[in-house]
C-alpha cells in the first residue's frame, strides 16, 4: 500500500476532475483568549443558506439515500465552457503556384482549417437560491462563454465571479430567483466509513448519483499539483468519472461536504478512489471570492514536512526526534510570523487552537481556515517538552492586511516597508520604498521584481512611504490605463524599470 501511494502521481488523472485545497473560515473572536476560533464557521451565511434536516435512516435502521439524492440532483448542474480560438489573420489557404507566378486568380487553393472553439464539460453545485454556483477552476479555465444547464433542462449563461487556481475552485453566478441549492455541511464532522453520495454529470449525462463511503480524510500528496499548493482531501470510493469535476459530495443529511475534484486511475475513469475538496476549504474560498474578489490566504511562514519524510531526508537533524505525529518545521519563509513568535527549526507542530494535527495536510487544513491578521494558538513539541505560542497570521507577502481584488494590491502580490536611513546612505539616494516581501503568484514576482528592490517612482510619481505606493497602485487599478510604470534600483545599486499591466 505504501508503494501505491508513493507512486500515486503516476496514476492520478485529472479527469476533468483536478484538485485543490486551501483555506479559511469566517472567524469570530473568543474574548477570553483573543484567538480566532476554528471551532465554528458559517460559510453558508455569506450565501444566505438555510440548513436541512433529512431522515438519513430507514424505519429499519438502514442508510436512506433517497431524500439526500432528491435534494441534490436538482442543485447540481451541467457546465459547458467554450474557449474561443484567437481570430485568424484573414482566411489562410495553401498557395497555388500558378496564381503566385501568373496571377491566374483562384485555382482552388486549399483553405487551412479555421481554428475551432474548444468546448469542455463539467459539473457545478448551486449554493444559494439567487444562483451562486461553485465548480472547479479547470472546468471553466480561460472560457469565453459558460453555459449552465439545470436538471430540468433549463439553460442559463453564467457570469464568472472569480477563481482560485491554487485550489482549483471557481465561483459562478446565474440570474434568477429561488433556485434549488445544497446547504453547506461540516466536513470536519465526517468519519471514515460514513456513507456519502457523489452527484455530478459524468460522461456528459444529466445528474447522476453514486454512493460510497469516506475512505480517508486529510489525504494529501496525491501528486497532482505543485508543491506550493495545499492538499487535504476527502477520499471516497463513490464512483467519480470524467465530467464529475465540480460536482457535489453530500452526506446522507443532504448537506454539501465536498467538491468532487480528482480520481485515482490509470485509465482516466473510476478505479476505486476519488477525491473531494472539503467544504471547510472550498466554502472559505468562494466566500472570500464573493466578499473580497480574491482569496485571503493566511500563513504561518514555516517550511514543513511529515515526520517520516523529514527523518528520511534529514537523518542527522532528526535522529533525536521522538514525535511520530505532527508537522516537522524544517525552515522558515521571509518575515515568518511563526519564527517571530518563537517557533524554532526542528520543532514539531502538533495542534492549532487545540485541534490536533497529525501531518502536513491537517496542519494546512487548519491554518488556512483563517485570514491574515487572525491570531491562533500553536502547540509544538521541542525535544521532550511542549510549548504554545500565540501567532498573528500574515499573508504571503508578509502583511496582515485583508485586500480586495479591485484595489490592485492583491494582484501585485507584494508588501512594502520604509527605506531606512542607512540604506539611503549606502545607495546614495534620498527617497524610495523597499519591497519587503513578494508573493510568487503575484504580478511583481512574474515581472521579476523581488524582495529588496527599491521603488523610487511609480507612474512618474516619487514615493517615500508604503502608503504612497499602495495609494498609487489602487489609483492605477481603477484608472482607464490600469498600468504601473516602476523605476528603482536593486540592492546592489543597478537601475531597473518595469511595466505592469493591472487589467488582466
Residue after which a domain boundary falls, among 363, 392, 421: 392
Spatial contact of 413 and 445, defined as CB atoms under 8 Å apart? yes
134 beta partners? 125, 171
The answer as to whether 127 is a domain residue is yes
The span from the CA of 315 to the CA of 372, in Å, is: 34
CATH number of the domain within which 482 lies: 2.30.42.10
The answer as to whether 11 is a domain residue is yes
Return the pLDDT at 20. Answer: 31
> Quick one: 128 and 198 in the same domain?
yes
Residue after which a domain boundary falls, among 234, 266, 295: 295
Catalytic residue among 72, 245, 280, 411: 245
The answer as to whether 121 is a domain residue is yes
Spatial contact of 368 and 381, defined as CB atoms under 8 Å apart? no
Q: How many domains does the chain have?
A: 3
The DSSP output letter for 89 is S
Name the E strands within 341-453: 348-352, 355-356, 375-382, 385-392, 414-418, 433-438
Question: How far is CA 135 from each of CA 44, 76, 207, 234, 358, rounded to the nearest angstrom?
Answer: 16, 10, 15, 16, 29
Cell of 326: 505532527
The answer as to whether 363 is a domain residue is yes
Burial (0-12, 13-18, 19+ Cβ within 10 Å), 385: exposed
> Quick one: 174 and 142 in the same domain?
yes
Catalytic residue among 18, 72, 128, 168: 168
Q: Is 138 a catalytic residue?
A: yes
> Quick one: 417 and 384 in the same domain?
no
pTM assigned to the model: 0.72
> Quick one: 345 and 420 in the same domain?
no
The span from the CA of 403 to the CA of 442, in Å, is: 13
Return the pLDDT at 438. Answer: 80
Dihedral pair phi/psi, residue 353, rounded to 5°: 50, 40
> Quick one: 65 and 194 in the same domain?
yes
> Quick one: 203 and 230 in the same domain?
yes
> Quick one: 310 and 455 in the same domain?
no
> Quick one: 420 and 472 in the same domain?
yes
The answer as to whether 101 is a domain residue is no
Q: Is 245 a catalytic residue?
A: yes
> Quick one: 467 and 495 in the same domain?
yes
Residue after which a domain boundary falls, among 280, 295, 310: 295
Return the pLDDT at 71. Answer: 86
Q: Count of residues for the chain?
A: 504
Return the pLDDT at 482. Answer: 85
CATH number of the domain within which 193 lies: 2.40.10.120
The answer as to whether 249 is a domain residue is yes
End-to-end CA distance of the chain: 45
> Quick one: 349 and 472 in the same domain?
no
Spatial contact of 304 and 330, defined as CB atoms under 8 Å apart? yes
> Quick one: 75 and 223 in the same domain?
yes
pLDDT tens for the 504 residues of the chain, in order: 444 444 444 333 333 333 233 333 333 333 334 666 544 457 788 888 876 656 566 666 677 788 889 889 999 999 999 998 754 444 444 444 444 334 444 444 444 556 678 888 999 999 999 999 999 998 998 899 999 999 999 999 999 998 888 788 999 999 998 999 999 999 989 999 999 999 998 877 778 899 999 999 887 765 554 444 556 889 999 888 888 889 999 999 899 999 998 766 666 666 678 889 999 999 999 999 998 888 888 889 999 999 999 999 989 888 888 888 999 999 998 789 999 999 999 999 999 999 999 999 889 888 878 888 999 999 999 988 999 999 999 887 777 877 666 667 777 888 788 888 898 988 899 999 999 878 777 889 889 999 899 999 999 999 999 889 988 998 888 788 888 999 999 998 999 999 999 876
The answer as to whether 397 is a domain residue is no
> Quick one: 36 and 133 in the same domain?
yes
Cell of 439: 508573493
Nearest to 365 by CA among 348, 375, 353: 353
Catalytic residue among 128, 138, 365, 379: 138
The answer as to whether 400 is a domain residue is no
Domain span at residue 268? 1-86+113-295
Amino acid at each position: 500500500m505504501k508503494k501505491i501511494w508513493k507512486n500515486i502521481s503516476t496514476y492520478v488523472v485529472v479527469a476533468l476532475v483536478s484538485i485543490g485545497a486551501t483555506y479559511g473560515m469566517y472567524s469570530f473572536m473568543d474574548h477570553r483568549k483573543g484567538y480566532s476560533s476554528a471551532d465554528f464557521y458559517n460559510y453558508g451565511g455569506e450565501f444566505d443558506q438555510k440548513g436541512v434536516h433529512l431522515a438519513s435512516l430507514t424505519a429499519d435502521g438502514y442508510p436512506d439515500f433517497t431524500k439526500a439524492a432528491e435534494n441534490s440532483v436538482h442543485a447540481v448542474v451541467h457546465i459547458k465552457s467554450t474557449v474561443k480560438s484567437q481570430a485568424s489573420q484573414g482566411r489562410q489557404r495553401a498557395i497555388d503556384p500558378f496564381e503566385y507566378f501568373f496571377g491566374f486568380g483562384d485555382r482552388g487553393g486549399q483553405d487551412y482549417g479555421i481554428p475551432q472553439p474548444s468546448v469542455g464539460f463539467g459539473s457545478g453545485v448551486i449554493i444559494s437560491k439567487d444562483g451562486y454556483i461553485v465548480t472547479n477552476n479547470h472546468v471553466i479555465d480561460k472560457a469565453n462563454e459558460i453555459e449552465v444547464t439545470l436538471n430540468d433542462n433549463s439553460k442559463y449563461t453564467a457570469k464568472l465571479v472569480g477563481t482560485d487556481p491554487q485550489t482549483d475552485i471557481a465561483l459562478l453566478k446565474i440570474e434568477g430567483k429561488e433556485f434549488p441549492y445544497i446547504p453547506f455541511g461540516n466536513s470536519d464532522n465526517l468519519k471514515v466509513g460514513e456513507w456519502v453520495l457523489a452527484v455530478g454529470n459524468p460522461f456528459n449525462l444529466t445528474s447522476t448519483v453514486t454512493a460510497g463511503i469516506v475512505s480517508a480524510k486529510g489525504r494529501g500528496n496525491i501528486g497532482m499539483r505543485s508543491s506550493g499548493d495545499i492538499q487535504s482531501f476527502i477520499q471516497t470510493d463513490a464512483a467519480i468519472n470524467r465530467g464529475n469535476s465540480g460536482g457535489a459530495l453530500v452526506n446522507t443529511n443532504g448537506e454539501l461536504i465536498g467538491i468532487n475534484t480528482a480520481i485515482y486511475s490509470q485509465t482516466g475513469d473510476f478505479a476505486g478512489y476519488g477525491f473531494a475538496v472539503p467544504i471547510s476549504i472550498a466554502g472559505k474560498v468562494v466566500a472570500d471570492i464573493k466578499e473580497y474578489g480574491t482569496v485571503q490566504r493566511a500563513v504561518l511562514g514555516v517550511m514543513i514536512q511529515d515526520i517520516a519524510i523529514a527523518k528520511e531526508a534529514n537523518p542527522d537533524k532528526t535522529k533525536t526526534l521522538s514525535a511520530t505525529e505532527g508537522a516537522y518545521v524544517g525552515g522558515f519563509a521571509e518575515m515568518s510570523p511563526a519564527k517571530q513568535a518563537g517557533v524554532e527549526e526542528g520543532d514539531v507542530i502538533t495542534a492549532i487552537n487545540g485541534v490536533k494535527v497529525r501531518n502536513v495536510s491537517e496542519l494546512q487544513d487548519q491554518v488556512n481556515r483563517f485570514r491574515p491578521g487572525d491570531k491562533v494558538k500553536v502547540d509544538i513539541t521541542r525535544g521532550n517538552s511542549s510549548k504554545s505560542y500565540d501567532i498573528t497570521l500574515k499573508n504571503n507577502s508578509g502583511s496582515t492586511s485583508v485586500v480586495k481584488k479591485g484595489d490592485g494590491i492583491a494582484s501585485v502580490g507584494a508588501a512594502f516597508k520604509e527605506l531606512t536611513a542607512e540604506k539611503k546612505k549606502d545607495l546614495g539616494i534620498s527617497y524610495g520604498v523597499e519591497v519587503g516581501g513578494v508573493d510568487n503568484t503575484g504580478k511583481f514576482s512574474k515581472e521579476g521584481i523581488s524582495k529588496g528592490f527599491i521603488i523610487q517612482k511609480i507612474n512618474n510619481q516619487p514615493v517615500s512611504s508604503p502608503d504612497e505606493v499602495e495609494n498609487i497602485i489602487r489609483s492605477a487599478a481603477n484608472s482607464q490605463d490600469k498600468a504601473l510604470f516602476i523605476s528603482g534600483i536593486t540592492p546592489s545599486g543597478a537601475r531597473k524599470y518595469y511595466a505592469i499591466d493591472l487589467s488582466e
